[in-house]
Amino acid sequence: MITMRRSMKECQDTGKIERFLACTKIGYLGLCEGNHPYVVPLNFVYADGCVYFHGANAGRKNDMMKKNETVCFTVSEDFGTMAHPVPAEVGTAYFSVMMFGKVKQVEDIDEATKALQYLLDKYVPGYYQAPLSKKHVETYRSSMRSKVVVFKIQVDSLTAKEDLLDENMKFYPGRTITDDVKGRR
């Protein structure tokens, strides 16, 4: 694993990382075929030390994962820009997680159903009055007649970075350097 260059921004608080992954809606799956990178935004859930996502049983993403199962999955959130009179000190408050591992199609119907239930619980909590049935997972076909498949990234390594928001420096429309320079006198 490559060490983080800006280690002072590293977050090692597993509880904070897991809470962040539980509420962040979109992650980015990084794939590579030869010299051709491909990044796909996805809904996902992080559970049991793995990333789960679903999709159709065909397409470029599936083809690439079959050829190279080594992937990177990145999740990030922007919490605002911080202004500063020194241009090089302008920054963005953020939290980001990068996970590396191998992706596999989930073949076990019980695990696939459990993962899809986790996704429903994350994205539409409390909407359904009954849990997802295995029969629905086995028989559902999309409008393009594709079977739903579930994928799992077994996370081998994970890094997290953060830059906390300084509310006093948060940029807002209309804020100018004049406001900040006056405040320093």
**Beta strands of the chain (E only): which ranges?**
26-33, 36-43, 45-47, 50-55, 70-82, 91-105, 149-163
Q: Give the side-chain half-sphere CA count within 13 A for 157.
A: 9
Name all domains of the chain by residue range, CATH numbers in brackets.
7-165+174-183 (2.30.110.10)
The span from the first CA to the last CA of the chain, in angstroms, equals 47
| Residue range 156-168, pLDDT digits in tens | 999 999 999 989 8
Alpha-carbon torsion 172, 174, 178, 184, what sign?
Answer: negative
| Residue range 75-127, pLDDT digits in tens | 999 999 999 998 998 999 999 999 999 999 999 999 999 999 999 999 999 99
| Residue range 113-122, pLDDT digits in tens | 999 999 999 9
